[in-house]
């Protein structure tokens, strides 16, 4: 296969190029390192079709990558050199008693430096995986997403199941009763578009007063089938996204606001748009023109997208909007909103059961069939939904932790800065600041 010669030459011109006899590398600028990082991520995309989630940088960089696969070993060696080059840029003055803006710029430079190093390390780990290395679930999530999800024994989930069992009337297995209950809250296919449009408009109305984006920002929604995910935001740059909603399985009413917030406002669409505005354009940091899916950035992306639902709506506000607008639009009985969301809140507590199933399945402790049964029993998924989730495990592996652990870490981070239920304005401020910063998952614990 053909190598991307231009990429190799650019990198070698700026750093020591393996082999040991070359002169000492000159110090690279952060932007030179960042540009090479972008090209490496594009190079990874030639080996791994899901790797490049978004790219809106110079088209010629992509065209160069498309000329042919570079060997994984070369990409890895270049990433190692970039990490070494980053190590030579380590003299950031500590924040001090200077102007607030200067301190902020220094902090952002620190975050940027740590971010680039960690993104490059994750890229190297993905190279190892594509080269055949077998990592355990927790090793993989640490390497790719800079975080490890807690483990829970079956008894942890059983307590929640017992609680649900007491609350859901009827006879028969709990999963069957759960499914029968949920089926009463399916949004009919011919009403989906209307319901989603209303949810998106409300999420946007609540989000936009808290940030500044060009008026041209927008996205379109498409309905698709045959996917292992339930929704996806494809960011195209220039503040535009395409959001796809998978209609393979019945869509329950709670998904309208979940997807509208998660994929749109203030979730992925806003996150990507703020990175483009604040970092790629205003600061001229090219690394944010590419989004490597299997990288620490994804925990921040998914965590903020999930937590954004709570930022946009208090529980009472959400229930009121569902009662007044979405339930009627879906031809569901508005008098049942509280009944449905009380149940939904309980089911939500089982979210870590999905991680547990993925961990055991991907570690080879249980087979596919057992994983489906386990998800059915402990996550109360229908067999069809459990099958879809296993396909997601096959495709995206330990990525699953980014949703619930990501949300918990983001929530804890925002609340530790005063962004609590009692102070929603502060919560918005901290949330928007996080969306537009290159913070790592490990940095959320600080």
**Quick one: 32 or 301, whose CB is closer to Zn ion?**
301
Nearer to Zn ion (CB atom), residue 86 or residue 405:
405
Instruction: Tell me the two tokens of residue 378.
Output: 């402990």
Tell me which stretch binds Zn ion (CB under 5 A): 32-40, 184-192, 297-305, 380-388. 297-305
121/302 with CB nearer Zn ion? 302
55 versus 271: smaller Cβ distance to Zn ion: 271
**CB of 309 or CB of 386, closer to Zn ion:** 309
From residue 105 to residue 134, what is the string marking binding to Zn ion with x (rule CB under 5 A)?
Answer: ------------------------------
CB of 182 to Zn ion, least distance (A): 22
- For the CB of residue 262, give the shortest distance to Zn ion in the complex, in Å: 6
Burial degree of 139 (CB within 10 A; 0-12, 13-18, 19+): middle
> Rounded CA gap, 116 and 119, in Å?
5
Q: Which stretch binds Zn ion (CB under 5 A): 131-139, 182-190, 302-310, 387-395?
A: 302-310
Count of residues of this chain found to bind Zn ion when the rule CB under 5 A is applied? 2
Count of beta carbons in the 10 Å neighbourhood of residue 390: 19
Query: Interacting stretch for Zn ion, rule CB under 5 A, among 82-90, 92-100, 300-308, 437-445?
Result: 300-308
Residue span 244-283 as binding mask against Zn ion, x where in contact by CB under 5 A, dash where not: ----------------------------------------
Q: Judged by CB under 5 A, which stretch of 295-303, 312-320, 351-359, 421-429 contacts Zn ion?
A: 295-303
CB of 73 to Zn ion, least distance (A): 32
Dihedral sign of CA atoms 7, 9, 15, 20 in order: positive
| CA-to-CA dists, residue 45 to 40, 218, 293, angstroms | 9, 26, 10
What residues does 54 pair with on adjacent strands?
Answer: 291
* Nearest-approach distance from CB 230 to Zn ion, in angstroms: 9
| Least distance to Zn ion, CB of residue 286, Å | 24
Q: Which stretch binds Zn ion (CB under 5 A): 197-205, 269-277, 303-311, 373-381?
A: 303-311
Residue 250 neighbours by CB under 8 Å, 6+ apart: 182, 183, 186
Positions in 304-323 near Zn ion (CB under 5 A): 305
- Show contacts with Zn ion in window 182-241 (CB under 5 A): none
By beta-carbon proximity to Zn ion, the closer residue of 298 and 437 is: 298
276 vs 302 by CB, closer to Zn ion = 302
Considering beta carbons, is residue 85 or 256 the nearer one to Zn ion?
256
Closest distance of CB 42 from Zn ion, Å: 22
Rounded to a whole number of angstroms, the minimum distance from the CB of residue 305 to Zn ion is 5
Residues 137-156 that bind Zn ion (CB under 5 A): none
Nearer to Zn ion, 280 or 297 (CB): 297
List residues near Zn ion by CB under 5 A: 302, 305
């Amino acid at each position: 296969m053909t190598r991307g010669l231009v990429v190799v030459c650019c990198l070698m011109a700026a750093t020591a190029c393996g082999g040991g006899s070359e002169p000492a590398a000159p110090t690279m600028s952060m932007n030179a390192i960042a540009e090479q990082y972008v090209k490496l991520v594009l190079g990874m995309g030639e080996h791994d079709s899901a790797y490049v989630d978004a790219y809106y940088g110079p088209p010629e960089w992509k065209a160069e990558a498309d000329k042919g696969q570079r060997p994984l070993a070369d990409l890895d060696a270049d990433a190692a050199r970039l990490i070494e080059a980053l190590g030579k840029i380590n003299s950031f003055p500590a924040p001090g008693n200077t102007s607030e803006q200067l301190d902020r710029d220094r902090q952002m430079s620190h975050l940027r430096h740590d971010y680039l190093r960690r993104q490059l390390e994750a890229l190297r780990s993905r190279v190892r995986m594509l080269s055949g290395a077998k990592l355990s679930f927790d090793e993989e999530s640490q390497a790719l997403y800079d975080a490890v999800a807690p483990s829970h024994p079956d008894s942890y989930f059983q307590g929640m199941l017992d609680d649900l069992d007491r609350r859901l009337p009827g006879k028969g297995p709990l999963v069957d009763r759960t499914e029968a209950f949920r089926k009463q809250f399916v949004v009919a296919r011919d009403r989906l578009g209307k319901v989603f449009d209303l949810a998106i408009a409300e999420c946007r109305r609540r989000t936009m007063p808290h940030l500044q984006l060009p008026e041209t920002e927008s996205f379109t929604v498409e309905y698709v089938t045959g996917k292992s995910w339930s929704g996806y935001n494809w960011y195209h740059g220039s503040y535009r996204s395409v959001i796809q909603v998978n209609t393979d399985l019945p869509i329950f009413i709670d998904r309208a606001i979940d997807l509208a917030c998660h994929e749109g406002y203030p979730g992925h669409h806003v996150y990507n748009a703020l990175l483009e505005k604040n970092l790629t354009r205003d600061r001229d940091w090219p690394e944010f023109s590419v989004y490597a899916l299997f990288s620490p950035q994804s925990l921040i992306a998914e965590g903020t997208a999930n937590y954004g639902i709570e930022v946009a709506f208090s529980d009472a506000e959400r229930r009121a909007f569902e009662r007044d607008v979405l339930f009627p639009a879906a031809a569901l009985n508005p008098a049942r909103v509280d009944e449905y969301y009380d149940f939904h809140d309980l089911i939500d507590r089982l979210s870590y059961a999905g991680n547990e199933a993925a961990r055991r399945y991907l570690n080879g402790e249980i087979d596919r069939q057992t994983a489906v049964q386990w998800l059915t029993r402990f996550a109360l998924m229908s067999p069809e939904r459990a099958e879809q989730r296993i396909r997601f495990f096959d495709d995206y592996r330990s990525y699953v932790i980014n949703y619930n652990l990501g949300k918990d870490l983001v929530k804890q981070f925002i609340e530790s800065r005063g962004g609590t239920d009692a102070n929603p304005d502060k919560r918005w401020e901290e949330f928007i600041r996080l969306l537009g910063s290159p913070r790592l998952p490990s940095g959320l614990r600080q």
